[in-house]
Structure 1
Amino acid sequence: MATLPKKYQWLAEEPGPRMIKEALAVFGTVEQPGDPNNPVIISWAKETGEKNVTQMYVADSIPWCGLFMAVVAKRADKPLVKDPLWALNWGTFGVFTKTPMLGDVLVFVRRTTDGSRAGHVGLYVGEDETAYHVLGGNQGDCVCVTRMAKTRLYTARRPAYQLQPDNVRRIRLATTTALSHNEA
């Protein structure tokens, strides 16, 4: 695992939720520039065990936030959504929650360069007044934490816990970095 930025180092001490722990285990994974592919990211497709994912995901130049979520969920023994490569499909994961908290899946809407609607998905690690702090894949071509405008939130989904971890809570953080505008 790459070193977490100082403002997020507290995450390494959190006892859960398990999806956060699994995401942190691959923190810093970077997409290869140009034609070469990062074999780690490519291997995640096979690890999901989903035939359609393995067939569709053949290059790390393909948006991979949904793939990141699929491998994190799989490693955390959570069920995958149908067609997990499509970020907006994570809007059916777990159970809806009105108030996002640590470890919840956040699904965002974004516009592509041609103006069509697409999505982005990641995990809640905190919030400030105007943004959620999101641990996700394909954020600046890597697994990292970035700020996403609250106005872009499509839905928040909590894993269907048998026993919810005690540390699932809202986390207030300082506004310290620019907002993300295009995660693909």
Structure 2
Amino acid sequence: MSKNVDTVLVIGATSGLGETFAKHFHTQGKKDMASEITTNLTATIAVAHIIIPHFLALKRPTTFMTVSSAAGFVPHGLFPVYCATKAGVHAFTCSLRAELVGKNARVLELAPPGVATDLVVSFKEQIIEAMGGPEKFAPPMSLEEYMNGVIEEFEKEGEEEGAKEVAVGFARILAGTWREALGPILESMGTSG
């Protein structure tokens, strides 16, 4: 691996979301579920297993970044497997970060809210129906608003050392609430997650 690589972003992706939205859990195929788990969680862990030793050998600051989701902090009944994989990514990221404290490999978690991608927009009516009507539907953040928010957070994060989760919109509220509630417990255990 090139010694120039010092930052890796693992995008577990949303490959399984189409299947998840299109079917209820009890009708979702086992192969679809396995694919979603592999894409979102197993691949993230496998990439970390390859990259982290490389980063540690570099002896200079490096960054490993995962992508979880607001759905990993507060699960939603519309896509339980997706929520479980993103909660798993969040837990893995916290554990890996704790393991690497004091090392040159920084571990960040990018936690997006619902974003109005083409995929999400294509399932909007199905989501509204499954939620019980438009009054219960929280419109997703526009992609432009999301990207601007993430860039702003990264710029701010450069000034404020020590960020663990990079989140905007509703996801920022969820990640902040999680950190406020569990941060003291993690610290009492000798870790900051």
Bigger radius of gyration: 2
Q: Normalised by the size of structure 1, how large is the TM-score?
A: 0.28
TM-score, structure 2 normalization: 0.27
More helix per residue: 2
Higher-strand-fraction structure: 1
